[in-house]
């Protein structure tokens, strides 16, 4: 009797945790974390990129068109999308990065607008402002694949659509962890130290023999790659995209994730994307005034706490507390 009750309760809890709505929000948070990192990496070398929405769009459209028209597997499409975005990053980055960060900000802002204009006007390929529909969905493809191996979602007691959303969430989670691992590893490497020295003072870095243009292009291109990757994943998670998804507002939103959370440390980007994606979901009335609030947040942050909510000092306090109790 008790055992049966417990099993029932367990199933109910499982069902609640695997609520597709929560899983979807979780997936959006993960995509946004990826986007926030795409701004964080260039910013860690002192370059402000406002083109993340544009790169995201390039990744999304490339992958969507390849999978729609050439029947390529989604994985190939996503990789191609990220690569095309990063090639574009190199092309735009080299002329802009020879100069100061201000030029890059303007050039990337312009780039984002042009990409949107091309999406709207290249009717034969992109279906104009209506956008692309029926893009192969990542979750369904995984389900097909799992079925091919003789696996059924009912075998572990979940429904098909729960499995779809869960698999998307897990794939995104693995990717985000991999990206975080890569960025953290890079920060502690020669490249990372070169980037932070450029951020501190590019002239001093140059006089120390660091090829600043090369490293700036590297960090900017990485940002473009991550944005393209996030865009391609976005296309295959949602299933439909339109130019409006990749407008200037999206770029500003992504910038706010990083600037709000903290642009000095990578935890800041993760926190910013997490908090600001969740906030409009939890507080429904906020979502209508979201951009107004974003604007106020940016102005206040720059005046009061330009490094964002989480900075190195805050992290030090946590580390100190932890090391007190732990083994040292």
Partner 1 sequence: MLLEQLINGITLGSIYAIIALGFTLVFGVLGIINMAHGEIFMVGAFVGVTTTGVLGWPLWLAFIAAIVVTSILGYLLERITLRPLRGKKGVSHLAPLISTIGVSILLENLSHHIFGAGNKPFNTSFSEIRINIGSITIYLVQIVIFVISILLMIGLTIWLSKTKAGKALRATADNLETASILGVDTKRIIILTVVIASAIGGIAGVLVGMAFNSVSPQMGLSMGLKGLAIIILGGMGNVKGAMVGGLILGLSETMLVAYGNSGYRDAIAFIMIIVILLLRPQGIFGSKVSQERR
Q: Can you tell me which of 7, 12, 98, 319 binds partner 1, judged by CB under 8 A? A: 98
**Length of the chain in terms of residues written:** 328
Least distance between partner 1 and beta carbon 229 (Å): 24
- Candidates 157-165, 238-246, 267-275, 301-309 — which segment interacts with partner 1 by CB under 8 A? 301-309
Indicate whether 48 belongs to the interface with partner 1 (CB under 8 A): yes
In the shown chain, the binding pattern of residues 239 to 268 toward partner 1, with x for contact by CB under 8 A and - for none, equals ---------xx--x--x---x---------
- Candidates 23-31, 161-169, 177-185, 290-298 — which segment interacts with partner 1 by CB under 8 A? 290-298
Least distance between partner 1 and beta carbon 120 (Å): 7
Residue bearing tokens 């001093």: 204
What does the DSSP 8-state code read for residue 135? P
Q: Can you tell me which of 15, 178, 296, 312 binds partner 1, judged by CB under 8 A? A: 296
| Beta bridge mates, 132 | 241
Least distance between partner 1 and beta carbon 248 (Å): 6
Q: Can you tell me which of 145, 151, 291, 318 binds partner 1, judged by CB under 8 A? A: 291
Select 203 or 328, whichever has its Cβ closest to partner 1: 203
**Helices assigned H by DSSP within the chain:** 2-17, 20-43, 52-70, 74-97, 101-121, 123-126, 138-148, 160-187, 190-200, 202-207, 212-238, 248-261, 266-282, 284-288, 290-304, 312-325
Distance CA 51, CA 321 (A): 39
Distance CA 305, CA 177 (A): 28
**Helices assigned H by DSSP within 44-130:** 52-70, 74-97, 101-121, 123-126
Query: How many residues belong to the site for partner 1 (CB under 8 A)?
Result: 44
Select 132 or 251, whichever has its Cβ closest to partner 1: 251
Paired tokens of 42: 């260039």
Distance CA 37, CA 197 (A): 19
Vertex 231: Cα angle to 226 and 234 (nearest 5): 125
Restricted to residues 138-197, the positions that interact with partner 1 (CB under 8 A) are none
What does the DSSP 8-state code read for residue 264? S
Indicate whether 101 belongs to the interface with partner 1 (CB under 8 A): yes
Select 140 or 290, whichever has its Cβ closest to partner 1: 290
Cβ(54)–Cβ(108) below 8 Å? yes
Q: Which residues make up the interface to partner 1 (CB under 8 A)? A: 43, 46, 48, 50, 92, 95-96, 98-103, 105-107, 109-111, 113-114, 117-118, 120-121, 202-203, 248-249, 252, 255, 259, 289, 291-292, 294-299, 302-303, 306
């Amino acid at each position: 009797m008790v055992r049966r009750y417990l099993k029932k309760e367990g199933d109910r809890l499982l069902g609640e945790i695997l609520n597709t709505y929560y899983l979807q929000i979780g997936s959006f948070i993960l995509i946004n974390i990826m986007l926030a990192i795409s701004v964080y990496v260039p910013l860690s070398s002192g370059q402000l990129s406002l083109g993340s929405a544009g790169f995201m769009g390039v990744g999304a459209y490339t992958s969507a068109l390849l999978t729609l028209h050439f029947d390529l597997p989604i994985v190939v499409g996503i990789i191609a999308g990220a690569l095309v975005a990063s090639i574009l990053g190199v092309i735009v980055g080299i002329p802009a990065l020879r100069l100061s960060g201000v030029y890059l900000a303007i050039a990337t802002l312009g780039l984002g607008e042009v990409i949107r204009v091309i999406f709207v006007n290249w009717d034969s390929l992109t279906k104009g402002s209506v956008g692309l529909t029926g893009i192969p969905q990542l979750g369904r493809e995984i389900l097909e694949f799992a079925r091919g191996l003789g696996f059924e979602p009912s075998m572990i007691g979940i429904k098909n659509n729960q499995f779809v959303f869960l698999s998307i969430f897990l794939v995104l989670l693995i990717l985000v962890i991999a990206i975080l691992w890569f960025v953290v590893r890079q920060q502690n490497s020669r490249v990372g130290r070169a980037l932070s020295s450029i951020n501190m003072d590019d002239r001093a870095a140059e006089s120390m023999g660091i090829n600043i243009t090369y490293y700036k292009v590297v960090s900017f291109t990485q940002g473009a790659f991550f944005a393209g990757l996030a865009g391609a994943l976005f296309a295959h998670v949602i299933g439909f995209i339109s130019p409006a998804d990749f407008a200037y507002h999206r770029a500003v939103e992504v910038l706010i994730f990083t600037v709000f959370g903290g642009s000095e440390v990578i935890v800041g980007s993760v926190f910013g994307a997490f908090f600001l994606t969740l906030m409009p979901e939890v507080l429904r009335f906020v979502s209508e005034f979201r951009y107004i609030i974003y604007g106020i947040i940016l102005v206040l942050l720059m005046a009061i706490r330009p490094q964002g909510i989480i900075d190195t000092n805050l992290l030090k306090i946590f580390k100190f507390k932890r090391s007190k109790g732990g083994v040292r």
